[in-house]
Structure 1
């Protein structure tokens, strides 16, 4: 392990990735917002399944794309703590307090992440594991094998997000592999797409939504939504058979198809919301506090007509994402989302925050915003 730090390099941000991150975080907000509606509406359930089929695999892939498989430097090691572990502990504590105030019960257990916080732990572990995967031949195949085999082992559970780490590992590793081999640039994937290709992408997503709605009872019966979480062992999903691993492979393939179609629809040019895509961590960590009162109060149950309320939830999800990534909210919550911790490290610069670090937000395309999903 080297103690050398990398010198800063100035690069131009690629708007596509910021656009993709913002669009994906809107899906996260929407997925959590619509969950209560799924109890009363097959259409809501179908949209829920469609979103959960690929939105977190997409975040894992994009996170891997902006991660390094090289020997970890001191700065990268410190960023795992300041960008991921510290916010995780802060927000885990906040959720413990919130749940105590609302329910009178609490269970402060950092090993069992609350609600969405699992991704911070998984991302920290992804970054720690990647340099080892990068050493072997066929790292994507190894990650795929690990993901499939992990599902056969009931002892692997959600403690420290290990089950999700292993389940989503192929997407994270694939993202790194795409950048490592410069696949995106070599294939011209960021160039302008023909209209027919975008039409095909839209048809794929629409077709998946139609199938989700047409067979929603079947999907509920086989607990497809739970399979999409990559949490439970196959035996806990009522699939103890030897072929259960093939189901996970199929789900991984489905996620790759859907995320490819989704990314084909993302604008390549600078948009009004491109800048907001740099701050998805704020939306990811804060939106649950906005949604929690609505989910707990029951106001999202029994809403009619559903053809009206689903569009309302979609618009609200976009507005929440815009508001939580806005400058005033970032200024107010930065100490929680992006804690500066010079007191923790012997080299105080390692925890002093990105403003005093060698690299700035606008000049580093190789790294997304601090810990951003």
Structure 2
């Protein structure tokens, strides 16, 4: 592993433990992923009027959330949770979810004049917060099983046949994406990245191959766009609806999900090949992806609902502009002033909630659910 971002190996017996250094690659990957999340939501209104935007949208959704789930799994622990880790599920996931779901209810009431308070139905982006919570809760049990990856694939494919597993508590999407989270954990559990020096061995032909893969998926998304629109591929990529709801009543419909999962893994691998390994001025923003994730939807809400992003022509101007805007939003929401203002909402410290108040603030500032504060 390169010295610029390598973890420090464990100290010799009897020596003073040294703090592990952060690996810039992972912060870079997190930040690029959150930019893609913002971008995917920003261009959604463009896809109704632009075939190019639609093709770009399909290529993006084919891998960006699976890649985020892989990163989250890589930084998750499968051992029996400690009291502090159990408290973090409450403080890092449940409380922010309740807080932001309440804010969304108030926003819809103030702007639209109506609201339907329902904590079982996550608003817009909050589904992934619930998914991370469920991932963390089930991981210790998955780790007890033989072939955990295989079981998660069976679960993901199987839930598509069950119409009663829907968006309540984001369960359908959570179980659909579970294999990617488990894959990230498996890579860490078996030390695949370090054993095979995947962050070191990146020759030009590997990067060229990654670019070729994205070029191929972009060409396929654009060239066969009428086919993808006809089969409603967009919603297949959400891992949310049952096969029957997507028009896939056939017994082999689960095979489509398997192909999409395989495609997502290939594209995620290509994505990781292209993520810079070294530290850059924007690398540190990868530690604050939860702020971007929870706040960006409020920034985009006026653009989405006002219709300002509809009928924007020519696409070759507006699509790059929206892309640049997404990067700026992701940067701005990770800055220190924004974090200082919104920390009570994004990272609440409710000592009053626990019998042991220290559980709300142990080990300094806690990791967010994606593990972005961990050094490795």
Secondary structure of the corresponding residue to residue 235 of structure 1: coil
State the distance in 1 between where 2:141 and 2:107 align.
38
- CA positional deviation for 1:360: 5.2
Deviation at 1:361, TM superposition (A): 6.9
User: 1:272 and 1:103, CA in 2 relative to 1: closer, same or farther beyond 3 A?
Assistant: same
What SS does the corresponding residue of 2:275 show, helix, strand or coil?
Answer: coil
- Deviation of residue 182 (structure 1)? 0.3
Q: Which residue of 2 aligns with 1:306?
A: 315
Show the 5 A alignment for 1:36-185: 36-185=45-194
Equivalent residue, structure 2, for 1:358: 363
Q: Secondary structure at the match of 2:349?
A: coil
5+ long unaligned stretches in structure 1 = 1-7
TM (norm. structure 2) is: 0.93
Q: How far 1:210 sits from its partner (Å)? A: 1.2
In the TM superposition, residue 10 of structure 1 has moved relative to its aligned partner by: 2.7
> What is the aligned partner in structure 1 of residue 373 from structure 2?
369
Cα–Cα, structure 1 residues 9 and 166, in superposed 2: closer, same or farther, change >3 Å? farther
Q: How many residues align?
A: 357
Alpha-carbon offset, residue 368 of structure 1 = 2.3
Determine the C-alpha separation between the residues in 2 that align with 1:219 and 1:87: 36
Give CA deviations for 1:213-232 in whole Å, capped at 9, x if unaligned. Answer: 11111101101010011111
What do the CA deviations read for 1:231-263 (whole angstroms, capped 9, x no partner)? Answer: 111111110100001000000001001111111
Q: Superposition pairs for residues 242-261 of structure 1, below 5 Å?
A: 242-261=251-270
Deviation readout 1:295-353 (Å, 9 max, x if unpaired): 1111111111110001101111100000000111000100010011101111111113x
1:318 pairs with 317, 327, 347, which one? 327
Equivalent residue, structure 2, for 1:5 = none
Partner secondary structure for residue 245 of structure 2: helix
How far off is 1:192 after superposition?
4.7
Instruction: Kindly indicate whether the alpha-carbon contact (under 8 Å) linking 1:36 and 1:295 is maintained by their aligned counterparts in 2.
Output: yes
Q: Which residue of 2 aligns with 1:334?
A: 343
TM-score (norm 1): 0.93
Q: 1:135-177: per-residue Cα shift (whole Å, max 9, x none)?
A: 0001000111111111111111110011011101100111101
C-alpha RMSD of the superposition:
1.6
Q: Corresponding residue for 2:8?
A: none
Q: In the alignment, is the contact (CA less than 8 A) between 1:192 and 1:268 conserved in 2?
A: no
Distance in 1 between residues matched to 2:253 and 2:178, nearest whole Å? 18
